[in-house]
Structure 1
Protein backbone atom coordinates (compact mmCIF):
# COMPACT_ATOMS: atom_id res chain seq x y z
CA UNK A 1 0.00 0.00 0.00
CA UNK A 2 2.82 2.39 0.83
CA UNK A 3 4.62 2.07 -2.50
CA UNK A 4 1.70 1.25 -4.80
CA UNK A 5 -1.24 2.96 -3.12
CA UNK A 6 -4.72 1.49 -2.66
CA UNK A 7 -5.82 1.85 -6.28
CA UNK A 8 -7.42 -0.74 -8.51
CA UNK A 9 -5.36 0.26 -11.56
CA UNK A 10 -2.54 -1.94 -12.86
CA UNK A 11 0.00 -0.49 -10.43
CA UNK A 12 -2.26 -0.02 -7.38
CA UNK A 13 -2.30 -2.58 -4.57
CA UNK A 14 -5.74 -3.93 -5.39
CA UNK A 15 -4.85 -4.14 -9.09
CA UNK A 16 -1.71 -6.09 -8.23
CA UNK A 17 -3.75 -8.38 -6.01
CA UNK A 18 -6.22 -9.08 -8.81
CA UNK A 19 -3.38 -9.90 -11.22
CA UNK A 20 -1.77 -12.21 -8.67
CA UNK A 21 -5.07 -14.01 -8.12
CA UNK A 22 -5.25 -14.71 -11.85
CA UNK A 23 -1.81 -16.36 -11.65
CA UNK A 24 -2.32 -18.38 -8.46
CA UNK A 25 -5.20 -19.29 -6.21
CA UNK A 26 -5.11 -17.98 -2.67
CA UNK A 27 -4.89 -20.56 0.12
CA UNK A 28 -8.49 -19.71 1.10
CA UNK A 29 -9.49 -20.87 -2.40
CA UNK A 30 -7.44 -24.08 -2.32
CA UNK A 31 -4.11 -22.70 -3.55
CA UNK A 32 -0.78 -23.45 -1.95
CA UNK A 33 0.47 -21.29 0.87
CA UNK A 34 3.57 -20.34 -1.15
CA UNK A 35 2.17 -19.93 -4.67
CA UNK A 36 0.00 -16.87 -4.11
CA UNK A 37 2.62 -14.73 -2.31
CA UNK A 38 5.13 -15.73 -4.99
CA UNK A 39 2.70 -14.64 -7.73
CA UNK A 40 2.04 -11.38 -5.89
CA UNK A 41 5.77 -10.64 -5.68
CA UNK A 42 6.09 -11.39 -9.42
CA UNK A 43 3.40 -8.88 -10.37
CA UNK A 44 4.68 -6.36 -7.83
CA UNK A 45 8.19 -6.54 -9.28
CA UNK A 46 6.82 -6.15 -12.82
CA UNK A 47 4.81 -3.08 -11.75
CA UNK A 48 7.88 -1.54 -10.13
CA UNK A 49 9.90 -2.06 -13.33
CA UNK A 50 7.06 -0.74 -15.50
CA UNK A 51 7.12 2.48 -13.50
CA UNK A 52 10.92 2.73 -13.50
CA UNK A 53 12.70 0.25 -15.80
CA UNK A 54 16.02 1.01 -14.15
CA UNK A 55 14.51 0.92 -10.64
CA UNK A 56 15.73 -1.10 -7.72
CA UNK A 57 13.63 -4.19 -7.02
CA UNK A 58 15.99 -5.71 -4.46
CA UNK A 59 13.43 -5.30 -1.67
CA UNK A 60 11.32 -7.86 -3.56
CA UNK A 61 14.13 -9.94 -5.04
CA UNK A 62 16.21 -10.46 -1.93
CA UNK A 63 14.29 -9.34 1.12
CA UNK A 64 10.67 -10.44 0.69
CA UNK A 65 11.34 -13.57 -1.36
CA UNK A 66 13.92 -14.71 1.14
CA UNK A 67 11.28 -15.16 3.82
CA UNK A 68 8.98 -16.91 1.35
CA UNK A 69 11.65 -19.32 0.14
CA UNK A 70 12.69 -20.06 3.71
CA UNK A 71 9.11 -21.09 4.44
CA UNK A 72 8.79 -18.38 7.09
CA UNK A 73 5.24 -17.49 6.08
CA UNK A 74 4.33 -16.37 9.59
CA UNK A 75 7.34 -14.03 9.61
CA UNK A 76 8.51 -15.50 12.87
CA UNK A 77 11.34 -13.58 14.46
CA UNK A 78 14.17 -13.09 14.36
CA UNK A 79 13.95 -11.80 10.82
CA UNK A 80 17.37 -11.27 9.31
CA UNK A 81 18.09 -9.97 5.84
CA UNK A 82 20.97 -8.37 4.02
CA UNK A 83 20.50 -5.48 1.66
CA UNK A 84 22.91 -2.96 0.19
CA UNK A 85 25.76 -4.56 2.12
CA UNK A 86 24.06 -4.12 5.50
CA UNK A 87 22.40 -6.66 7.75
CA UNK A 88 18.99 -5.85 9.15
CA UNK A 89 17.54 -7.78 12.07
CA UNK A 90 14.11 -7.73 13.70
CA UNK A 91 14.51 -9.48 17.05
Structure 2
Protein backbone atom coordinates (compact mmCIF):
# COMPACT_ATOMS: atom_id res chain seq x y z
CA UNK A 1 0.00 0.00 0.00
CA UNK A 2 1.37 3.38 -1.00
CA UNK A 3 1.30 6.11 1.61
CA UNK A 4 -0.55 9.33 0.82
CA UNK A 5 0.82 12.81 1.43
CA UNK A 6 -1.50 13.02 4.43
CA UNK A 7 0.02 9.82 5.87
CA UNK A 8 3.54 11.12 5.37
CA UNK A 9 3.02 14.53 6.99
CA UNK A 10 1.20 12.91 9.92
CA UNK A 11 4.02 10.45 10.61
CA UNK A 12 5.72 11.12 13.95
CA UNK A 13 9.26 10.83 12.51
CA UNK A 14 8.49 13.40 9.81
CA UNK A 15 6.90 15.78 12.30
CA UNK A 16 9.84 15.39 14.70
CA UNK A 17 12.34 16.11 11.91
CA UNK A 18 10.52 19.34 11.07
CA UNK A 19 10.31 20.26 14.76
CA UNK A 20 14.09 19.84 15.08
CA UNK A 21 14.60 22.08 12.02
CA UNK A 22 12.24 24.68 13.49
CA UNK A 23 14.23 24.70 16.75
CA UNK A 24 17.54 24.93 14.87
CA UNK A 25 16.30 27.88 12.80
CA UNK A 26 15.08 29.62 15.97
CA UNK A 27 18.53 29.30 17.53
CA UNK A 28 20.06 31.04 14.50
CA UNK A 29 17.53 33.88 14.47
CA UNK A 30 18.81 37.30 15.37
CA UNK A 31 15.53 38.78 16.58
CA UNK A 32 11.86 38.12 17.18
CA UNK A 33 10.93 39.25 13.66
CA UNK A 34 13.00 36.45 12.12
CA UNK A 35 11.77 33.57 14.29
CA UNK A 36 9.35 31.08 12.76
CA UNK A 37 7.35 29.81 15.72
CA UNK A 38 4.77 27.58 14.02
CA UNK A 39 4.47 25.60 10.82
CA UNK A 40 1.77 23.53 9.19
CA UNK A 41 2.87 20.88 6.72
CA UNK A 42 0.84 20.88 3.53
CA UNK A 43 -0.44 17.68 1.91
CA UNK A 44 -1.33 19.58 -1.26
CA UNK A 45 1.50 21.48 -2.97
CA UNK A 46 1.00 25.04 -4.23
CA UNK A 47 -1.09 25.10 -7.39
CA UNK A 48 -0.23 26.85 -10.62
CA UNK A 49 -3.88 26.59 -11.67
CA UNK A 50 -4.96 28.41 -8.49
CA UNK A 51 -2.28 31.05 -9.19
CA UNK A 52 -0.42 30.13 -5.98
CA UNK A 53 2.78 29.93 -8.04
CA UNK A 54 3.88 32.69 -10.39
CA UNK A 55 5.32 32.20 -13.88
CA UNK A 56 8.77 32.66 -12.35
CA UNK A 57 8.18 29.92 -9.76
CA UNK A 58 7.65 32.17 -6.74
CA UNK A 59 4.78 31.80 -4.31
CA UNK A 60 1.94 34.26 -4.76
CA UNK A 61 1.30 35.08 -1.11
CA UNK A 62 -2.11 36.66 -1.72
CA UNK A 63 -3.41 33.62 -3.66
CA UNK A 64 -2.02 31.18 -1.07
CA UNK A 65 -3.70 33.16 1.71
CA UNK A 66 -6.99 33.21 -0.19
CA UNK A 67 -7.03 29.50 -1.05
CA UNK A 68 -5.70 28.21 2.29
CA UNK A 69 -7.43 30.55 4.69
CA UNK A 70 -8.67 27.70 6.89
CA UNK A 71 -5.17 26.28 7.23
CA UNK A 72 -3.67 29.67 8.05
CA UNK A 73 -6.30 30.08 10.78
CA UNK A 74 -4.99 26.86 12.36
CA UNK A 75 -1.58 28.53 12.84
CA UNK A 76 -3.15 31.19 15.07
CA UNK A 77 -5.79 29.10 16.82
CA UNK A 78 -5.56 28.78 20.59
CA UNK A 79 -5.16 26.18 21.86
CA UNK A 80 -2.94 24.97 19.04
CA UNK A 81 -4.24 22.30 16.72
CA UNK A 82 -2.42 18.97 16.83
CA UNK A 83 -1.62 19.55 13.14
CA UNK A 84 0.58 22.56 13.93
CA UNK A 85 4.25 22.06 14.72
CA UNK A 86 5.53 24.72 17.11
CA UNK A 87 8.53 25.68 19.21
Tell me, yes or no, whether TM beats 0.5: no
Short-chain TM bin: 0.3 to 0.5
Structure in which a larger fraction of residues adopt strand:
1
Q: Could you tell me the TM-score, scaled by structure 1's length? A: 0.33
TM-score w.r.t. length of structure 2: 0.34
Computing the radius of gyration from Cα coordinates, the structure with the larger value is 2
